[in-house]
């Protein structure tokens, strides 16, 4: 179990590295787009959609990375006074009711969209460049998959704490 | 349709949200979970598509993509060491005045606000740089932390601000015009803070001891040189980001990208650059964006479901039924935002409330731009108002035990500043031109 959890963590960490690179690449692409338009006077279409692809990836990969780093914060003014075990019980119940239904459902749906984009040759139509939509659609599916994975790992850890009273 | 009436569904959605927020579970999941359960109850499982489409829509909205770029820029600037340099300079220039260090803190907050759009970044920088120095010089803990928190919070109002980046597309208002509209109110708040600090420390000198003259003995030439070298990079950033937006040269997203790039250049110029820093900034950006994305997408889906079950009419009718005509409704909206802001993160509020209140405000004859700035200035108070006050938590988190600052010290210090924000809001109601004048001068 311990091993499985650490595998889940390391997948998210690797996804996080991809996301961090996307963020830096996004800065470069936008700046390059501005440079060729205003300085070199030779505008291109691709930076616009490339920005969308990279920026979308940053948002979606960020979901699981934020879950790993405990950055999805809640209002803990009441729960901070409770014992850690009670907090863990509340979190387990809330995860079952509010985390798993939307997250698993979106993951399932996003895989369908990614599949359709691969098979149907869907294209993005923000500009006349018409790049294929599968890279971003796939990114969405992977991002949600990582969020499901990380959410589950977190859930298992908390459940373990509730049952055994010790961290895993 | 389900058997439940719109009234019942509205009550279920809002009631469960307000109760479950206090479970301490991440608010994005709570919002999404409620929306999905109610959505399935009313329309069946197809409602799941709505969640995906909302998320895809937000994450690929070109204007919203300014958010990661501004976050990147702010986090990068934290690593540049520019805050320390500016603080040292302002300290030498203004340290000899009574209350000077608190004034410096607010001024620094104002300048930082114009460089970063992320509230956490400016509060963090001020708490790290300005606060220890004030406490070392014997400033009262309340005044020092109050100035730090309030000065840092200016970051979310004074452009570039990610709150305005998110508000704009939600309400169909130009982000560039919102940026221009926020300039004057932001400066008014900053001046009110400075005036308050000066007056208070004049009448209660014990709160803010004067810095011993020996510490400030530096030649004028050196002081002038420091002023130039520390403010010049900031000016370059300001021009490259806000200038191009105000002059209508580039949209906010492109300006943010250039600003982010310039912040990397700045870090290189200050010899603080390494690939480790770049990676760290990238990961922090990722974390902040993931956090924002969850709330944006889930709150967006929640609002869609809420509008679908007819909740909007119920809320609108309630707001219109408030006595006092359009100003009565306006006051009710502002109070609701203020109370929500005490518990729910501003991002969630913008996504939940703006689709309802922004058409209503237009219907009541309020200028959308003016209304948008009023909402954002109001929401920015949420960072300073307990029990859930992001800026206070950040400040408290950075204070070391040796500083001996308690939560109560900070809250006592922040309240006067909250009243000053309310004063600024009142001024903007009395003189709407304070907000609308600058945008009307904008090109494009």
Residue B35 placed within a domain: no
Q: Report how many domains make up chain B.
A: 1
**Cα torsion angle, B318, B321, B322, B324, sign:** positive
**Among the listed ranges A27-31, A98-102, A105-109, B237-241, which one has the minimum average pLDDT value?**
B237-241
Residue B288 placed within a domain: yes
CB contact under 8 A, B58 and A109: no
Q: Which residue of B has its CA nearest to A64?
A: B290
Of B30, B37, B286, the CB nearest to A61: B286
Residue B31 placed within a domain: no
Q: Which residue of B has its CA nearest to A102?
A: B33
The ipTM estimated for the assembled molecules is: 0.94
Task: Give yes or no for a contact between B164 and B182, defined as CB atoms under 8 angstroms apart.
Answer: yes
**Chain B residues with beta carbon closer than 8 angstroms to that of A26:** 65, 68-69, 257
B251, exposed or middle or buried, with CB in 10 Å at 0-12, 13-18, 19+? Answer: middle
Of A51, A61, A97, the CB nearest to B65: A51
Q: Say how far apart CA B113 and CA B156 lie, in whole Å.
A: 7
Question: What are the DSSP calls for B303-342, one per residue?
Answer: HHHHHHTTHHHHHHHHHHHSSSHHHHHHHHHHHHHHHHHH
CB contact under 8 A, A55 and B59: yes
CB atoms within 10 A of CB A123: 12
Q: Say how far apart CA B262 and CA B268 lie, in whole Å.
A: 10
CB contact under 8 A, A30 and B260: yes
Pick among B287, B298, B343, B391 to test the A interface (most A CBs inside 10 A): B287
Q: Which residue of B has its CA nearest to A66?
A: B287
Q: What does the pLDDT average to over A61-88?
A: 88
Structure tokens at B416: 């006067």
Position A127 pLDDT exceeds 90:
no
**Dihedral angle at the C-alpha atoms of B233, B67, B243, B438, nearest 10 degrees?**
-130
Q: Say how far apart CA A165 and CA A85 lie, in whole Å.
A: 7
CA nearest neighbour of B178 among B330, B365, B362, B372: B372
Question: What are the DSSP calls for B141-202, one per residue?
Answer: HHHHHHHHHHHHHGGGTSSS-HHHHHHHHHHT--HHHHHHHHHHHHHHHHHHHHHHHHHHHH
**Among the listed ranges A37-41, A136-140, B181-185, B316-320, which one has the minimum average pLDDT value?**
A37-41
The string over B141-178, giving b where at least 16 C-beta atoms fall within 10 Å of a residue's C-beta and e elsewhere, is bbbbbbbbbbbbbbbbbbbbbbbbbbbbbbbebbbbbb
Residue B2 placed within a domain: no
pLDDT string in tens for chain B (444-residue length): 556 888 899 999 999 998 998 888 999 999 999 999 999 999 998 899 999 998 898 888 888 999 999 999 988 988 888 888 888 888 888 888 888 999 999 999 988 887 776 667 788 889 988 999 899 888 999 999 999 999 999 988 888 888 999 999 989 999 999 999 999 999 999 999 999 999 999 999 888 888 887 777 788 888 888 888 888 888 788 778 888 888 888 889 999 999 999 999 989 988 899 999 999 999 999 999 998 999 989 999 999 999 999 889 999 999 999 998 899 999 999 999 998 888 888 888 999 899 999 999 999 999 999 999 999 999 998 888 877 788 888 888 888 888 888 888 999 999 999 999 999 999 999 999 999 999 988 765
Q: Say how far apart CA B263 and CA B253 lie, in whole Å.
A: 15
- Cβ contacts of residue A61 below 8 Å, gap of 6+? A15, A16, A18, A19, A22, A139, A142, A143, A146, B286, B290
Domain carrying residue B271: 46-440
Distances (CA, A) of B56 to A126, B64, B297, B367: 13, 12, 8, 30
pLDDT score of B161? 87
Distances (CA, A) of A100 to A37, B45, B158, B313: 45, 15, 38, 31
CB contact under 8 A, B257 and A51: yes
Of A31, A63, A109, the CB nearest to B293: A63
CB atoms within 10 A of CB A125: 11
Q: Which residue of B has its CA nearest to A22?
A: B282
**Chain B residues with beta carbon closer than 8 angstroms to that of A28:** 261
CA nearest neighbour of B307 among B9, B86, B58, B52: B9
The string over B215-243, giving b where at least 16 C-beta atoms fall within 10 Å of a residue's C-beta and e elsewhere, is ebeeeeeeeeebeeebbebbeebbebbbe
> The whole model's pTM is what?
0.92
Q: What does the H/E/C string look like for B232-284?
A: HHHHHHHHHHHHHHHCCCCCHHHHHHHHHHHHHHHHHHCCCCCHHHHHHHHHH
């Amino acid at each position: 179990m311990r091993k499985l959890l650490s595998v889940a963590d390391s997948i998210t960490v690797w996804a996080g590295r991809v996301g961090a690179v996307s963020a830096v690449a996004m800065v470069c692409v936008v700046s390059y787009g501005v440079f060729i338009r205003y300085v070199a006077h030779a505008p291109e279409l691709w930076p616009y959609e490339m920005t969308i692809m990279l920026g979308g990836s940053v948002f979606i990969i960020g979901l699981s990375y934020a879950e790993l780093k405990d950055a999805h914060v809640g209002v803990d003014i009441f729960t901070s006074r409770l014992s850690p075990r009670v907090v863990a019980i509340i979190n387990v119940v809330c995860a079952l009711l509010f985390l798993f239904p939307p997250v698993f459902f979106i993951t399932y749906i996003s895989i369908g969209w990614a599949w359709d984009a691969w098979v149907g040759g869907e294209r993005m139509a923000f500009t006349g460049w018409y790049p294929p939509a599968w890279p971003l659609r796939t990114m969405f599916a992977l991002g949600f998959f990582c969020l499901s994975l990380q959410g589950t790992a977190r859930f298992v850890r908390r459940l373990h704490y509730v049952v055994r009273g010790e961290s895993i | 349709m389900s058997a439940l009436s719109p009234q019942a569904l509205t009550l279920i959605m809002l009631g469960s949200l307000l109760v479950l927020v206090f479970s301490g579970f991440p608010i994005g999941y709570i919002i999404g979970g409620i929306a999905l359960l109610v959505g399935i109850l009313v329309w069946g499982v197809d409602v799941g598509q709505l969640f995906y489409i909302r998320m895809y829509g937000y994450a690929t909205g070109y204007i919203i993509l300014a958010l990661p770029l501004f976050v990147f820029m702010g986090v990068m600037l934290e690593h540049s060491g520019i805050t320390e340099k500016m603080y040292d300079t302002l300290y030498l220039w203004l340290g000899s005045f009574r209350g000077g260090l608190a004034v410096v803190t607010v001024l620094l907050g104002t300048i930082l606000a114009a460089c970063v759009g992320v509230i956490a970044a400016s509060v963090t920088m001020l708490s790290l740089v300005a606060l220890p120095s004030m406490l070392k010089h014997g400033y009262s803990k309340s005044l020092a932390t109050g100035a730090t928190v309030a000065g840092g919070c200016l970051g979310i109002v004074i452009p570039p601000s990610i709150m305005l980046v998110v508000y704009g597309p939600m309400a169909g208002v130009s982000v560039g015009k919102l940026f221009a509209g926020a300039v004057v109110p932001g400066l008014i708040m900053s001046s009110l803070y400075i005036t308050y600090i000066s007056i208070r420390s004049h009448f209660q000198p014990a709160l803010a001891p004067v810095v011993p003259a020996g510490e400030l003995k530096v030649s004028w030439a050196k002081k002038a040189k420091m002023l130039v070298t520390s403010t010049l990079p900031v000016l370059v950033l300001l021009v490259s980001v806000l200038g191009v937006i105000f002059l209508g040269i580039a949209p906010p997203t492109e300006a943010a990208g250039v600003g982010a790039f310039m912040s990397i250049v700045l870090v290189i110029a200050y010899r603080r650059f390494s690939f480790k820093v770049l990676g760290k900034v990238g990961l922090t950006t990722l974390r902040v964006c993931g956090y924002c994305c969850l709330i944006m997408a889930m709150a967006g889906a929640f609002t869609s479901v809420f509008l679908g079950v007819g909740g909007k009419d119920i809320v609108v009718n309630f707001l219109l039924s408030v006595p006092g005509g359009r100003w009565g409704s306006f006051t009710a909206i502002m109070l609701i935002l203020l109370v929500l802001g005490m518990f729910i993160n501003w991002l969630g509020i913008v996504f939940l409330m703006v689709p309802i209140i922004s058409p209503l405000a237009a219907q009541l004859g309020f200028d959308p731009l003016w209304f948008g700035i009023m909402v954002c200035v109001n929401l920015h108070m949420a960072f300073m108002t307990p029990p859930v006050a992001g800026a206070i938590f950040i400040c408290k988190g950075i204070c070391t035990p040796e500083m001996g600052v308690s939560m109560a010290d900070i809250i006592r210090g922040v309240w006067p500043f909250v009243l000053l924000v309310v004063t600024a809001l009142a001024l903007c109601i009395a003189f709407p031109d304070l907000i609308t004048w600058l945008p009307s001068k904008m090109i494009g």
